[in-house]
Structure 1
Amino acid sequence: MTDEAYGALRASAALWAGASVLITNRRGQVLLQRVGYRPTRLLPGGAVERESPAQAAARELEEELGVKVSVTRGLAVDWVSPAGRATPPVMKFPGEVLHVFDGGVWDEERIASIRPAPGEIEAVEFAEPADLPALMEPGDARRALAALRARINGTGPVLLEDGRPLVPTLLDRVNAFTRHRAAHHWPWHGGPAPAGMPVRQCWGWLFAPDGRVLTLLDPANGAACLPGGTPEPQDHGDPATTLTREVAEEAAARISDPVLLGYLPDEHASSGPCARVRMAARLTDVGPSRPDPATGQTYVRALATPEQVTELFDWGPGAADQLQAVHQARSLLRIPKAAHQPVSELTGPACW
């Protein structure tokens, strides 16, 4: 082919290019924009002009939000097919390659500095990830959630087609963030619960030898919980006994003697004020997965770093203090700090 013919051929197959930015607050909620020209919410971003996608993302943030941010980390690259976006036929939408960048976690000071572009951005709001499908177009919501999961996994940009990953990770397979995260905005207190305050729950941070911890995921919606549960009469008021029993029932696992981390005071529990205890232990043995006899639920057993675990919940300001106590216990148990890696399934059996 001549250069002219080859250029014409490539031009006939040209796609649009776009860039958007995933930004969260410290609670893990996603920044969305309300615009006057669409009924659904959008991530900040827009068309790539005569610039790189990263330059376009940074430019759009400054134009739309009035915030200057360097954008360097990619989360997802999505091929949006002509059928993957609802556009007027007259637009002749040819498809688009859309890059999603990581805008980071914004604190209150940076959020307060947002100045929405007048005439374009009507409002800016932070939404719980599980609410994105109701607020955004389906493809936009899939893309945003896939980018959020990629950020937690930390494996670099994922490849998507119409918002669906070509190679789904564990968080994709269990549809993480499609159900509201457990919101536990209680202050953290180290040490035992006060005398007279009943213990209604005991959860455990259970360490594998590589420093990751066991997390239980609902296979249908990815809802996460740490192993543990409610004290029973046969536990005789001993949180360590409760945790050991619940871990065996829920996760078919055995642990070393637990150490107490602290507790969370729940002043508004339906049964009255109570303490929710947190402990730490080593995982020593994991058997074949089986249903929890109390609920009939068979959880997906996952290994995640402690930092990844906190992103699966909405624990508020107390999360940082609890995380610090977790790492202190990890050092006491002589467990190494986990390297950042994707959340992975623990299929078992295993013995450490």
Structure 2
Amino acid sequence: MALHHPDSHENPSPTRRRMTDAQYVASRRSLWCGVAALFTDGRGRVVLEDVDYRPACLLPGGAIDAYEAPSLAIAREVCEELGLTRRFTGVLAVDWIPPSTPGYPPGFPGEMIYVFDGGTLTEDDFAQIRLPDRKVTGIRRIEPALVPRYMNPGNARRVLAALRARINGTGPAILEDGCPLVPTALDDLQVLRTPRKPQLWPWRTSSVPVKLPVTQAWGWLFAEDGRALVLVGQDTGSACLPGGTLEPADHGDPAQTLHREAWEEARVRIGTPHFLGYLHDDTGRRPCARARYAAHITGWEPPRRDEATGQTYSRLLATPEQTAQLFDWGDEAAAQLAAVHAGREKLGLPAAARQPLTELVPGRLAEGSGAQ
């Protein structure tokens, strides 16, 4: 039975010769197909491989064998290269690599790459990694902003686009040479292009000890739909929670600091802040507390340049889990998120549904929320 293809018709014209199956198959242009796995560690660093056949690092992965499904190909490649047995069900990005890409052999026809979500590898997972005798010579954990130092440009763009797609949580990003066809707010701001500052201090939910000075106050500021406000510097792509350092005008009251900073940085008004806990920073000459609060957003105006920092921030709404992926909090992230959700519930706000990060704009809290 003949294949049904674009040149076959129920009633072919008598003047047009019908293409045979063999001719149709031969007419299709060749295209390489490959797979890659995006793994991160507990601090959000990307897992890359050193290989003996290229100077630049790669994600785990490789070519899809003949008649092999992409999900089976990536499971096979990860087992061969890392010695890990995994089942892959989620694709973060699908990228087309153009034929003109440097570094490929003559006649390279272009390639489609499926980037699968490998999730987070634990320290036990890393201990189980077994490298093969050839090809893969080592692994690295790389801060996302530093990925371009270790990979060729197209591969680095693909990795960062896939990371942003993971944070948005909306399914595969369609890429061409590592660039999204439909950029999200995270893509437009080039989030993760600047190295994150590690904040690996112990998290405490108790009251701050009297002898431990509170030097900073930061807020989880919630919209009506249960998403929190995260600020992204338009010049840097760096994320931060609203808040900052106590100043004399705050009279030693961290809650007052949060009110002031939320207005100065983000032009946001908030209700009464509820204390969530603090990070015990003992890395400086004198230990201090960096307090965290939860508060309800009660009003906002168009953003302006922050006179204290010279920075203009884009205001994005994200679930607490999405927000945490923008920072390097290490093992303390889970405990802080638990306190954040307890604070959200105390404010009487719902758990937010995962959706792409959206901007807080004048007149509404989120696209489709109906809040005015």
TM-score computed with the length of structure 1 as normaliser: 0.96
- Distance in 2, Cα, partners of 1:238 & 1:221: 30
- Cα deviation per residue 1:283-306 (whole Å; 9 max; x = unaligned)? 010111111121221100000000
Match for 1:193: what amino acid?
V
Greater than 3 Å deviation, 4+ residue runs: 349-352
Q: 1:349: how far off?
A: 4.3
Structure 2: give runs of 5+ residues left out of the alignment. 1-17, 365-370
Where in structure 1 are there 5+ consecutive unaligned residues?
A: none
Q: Greater shift after overlay, 255-264 or 193-202?
A: 193-202
Give runs of aligned pairs for residues 293-304 of structure 1, distance below 5 A: 293-304=307-318
Deviation, 1:82, is 0.8
Counterparts in 2 of 1:21-60, with a 5 A limit?
21-50=37-66, 51-60=68-77
Equivalent position to 1:72, from 63, 67, 89 = 89
- Tell me by how many angstroms 1:85 deviates: 4.0
Contact 2:303 2:312 in 1 (8 A): yes
In the other structure, the counterpart of 2:331 is 317
Asked if 2 retains the 8 angstrom alpha-carbon contact of 1:191 and 1:260, the reply is no
Which of 142, 149, 160 does residue 145 from structure 1 map onto?
Answer: 160
Distance 2:206 2:306 in 1: 29
The answer to whether residue 281 in structure 2 is matched with residue 281 in structure 1 is no
Post-superposition CA distance 1:128-168 (Å, at most 9, x none): 11110000011111101111111111110110000000011
Shift of 1:223: 0.6
How large is the Cα RMSD of the aligned pairs?
1.2
Q: Secondary structure at the match of 2:299?
A: strand
Distance in 1 of aligned mates of 2:118 and 2:97? 21
**In 1, Cα distance between equivalents of 2:237 and 2:101:** 25
Indicate if the aligned counterparts of 1:285 and 1:349 stay in contact, CA closer than 8 A.
Answer: no
- Out of 267, 271, 283, the residue aligned to residue 282 of structure 2 is 267
State the alpha-carbon separation in 2 of the partners of residues 205 and 265 from structure 1: 18
Identity across the alignment (%): 53
Which is further off, 277-286 or 105-114? 105-114
Bigger mean CA offset, 189-198 vs 144-153: 189-198
Q: Is the 8 A contact 2:235 2:311 kept in 1?
A: no
Counterpart CA distance in 2 for 1:203 and 1:269 is: 19
Aligned to 1:130: 145
| SS of aligned partner of 2:100 | helix
| Counterpart for residue 210 of structure 1 | 225
SS of equivalent residue, structure 1 residue 284? strand
1:61 paired residue among 72, 78, 82: 78
Aligned residue in 2 for 1:251: 266
Alignment of 1:151-162 (within 5 A): 151-162=166-177
Deviations 1:85-140 (A, max 9, x none): 42233xx1000011100111111111111101111110012111111000001111
Matched residue, 2:10: none
Contact 2:317–2:359 (CA<8 Å) still a contact in 1?
A: yes
Q: Does 1:8 align with 2:26?
A: yes
